[in-house]
Chains A and B, each alone.
Chain A
Amino acid sequence: SQTIHQWPATLVQPVGSPLSLECTVEGTSNPNLYWYRQAAGRGLQLLFYSVGIGQISSEVPQNLSASRPQDRQFILSSKKLLLSDSGFYLCAWSKGQVFYGYTFGSGTRLTVV
């Protein structure tokens, strides 16, 4: 069966520090991968998606970036965090042409202080 792992679960970082959040999927190949952010009390904002290794599409201009160095690995990064980067970050995957929705990871709670 397919599983998705996201880590760390919680993170407290100072303003101006770098960020690296990792997401991996097991049990499938060539998934579509997504990063979402959920600000406190708000809905979900799509940040990046990827249809293959090295292919990244950005939905929202910001100081975050994403990379996909391997088929089932998706990384969210920042060189210098801002206070406004605080939130709940969710990774998700979907598969193929027949669309059954996303499967989400358990999320990372990021607090920038």
Chain B
Amino acid sequence: DAKTTQPTSMDCAEGRAANLPCNHSTISGNEYVYWYRQIHSQGPQYIIHGLKNNETNEMASLIITEDRKSSTLILPHATLRDTAVYYCIVQETSGSRLTFGEGTQLTVNP
């Protein structure tokens, strides 16, 4: 599996955009980038995934650099309920294992 690197923690003001970075410099050509989040004492929640192109859904946007070595998850208008640990995961091609790293603890402040 390609390894990912994320900042340990980030803070964001309520109502502002939260931009969470992820480095995955060893990603291979057919590996996808997945984002999940885990609110305290709950199971992880799927957010979004992408391969090459930028993606957007009702929860977030995913911006992947042209060389695919990094990506940014954008929560356009963060709320207090977005406080969670955010995991950036690269999916291996031969199966569907998700290997969770330490993630980024995002704290949205009022």
Partners in one complex: no
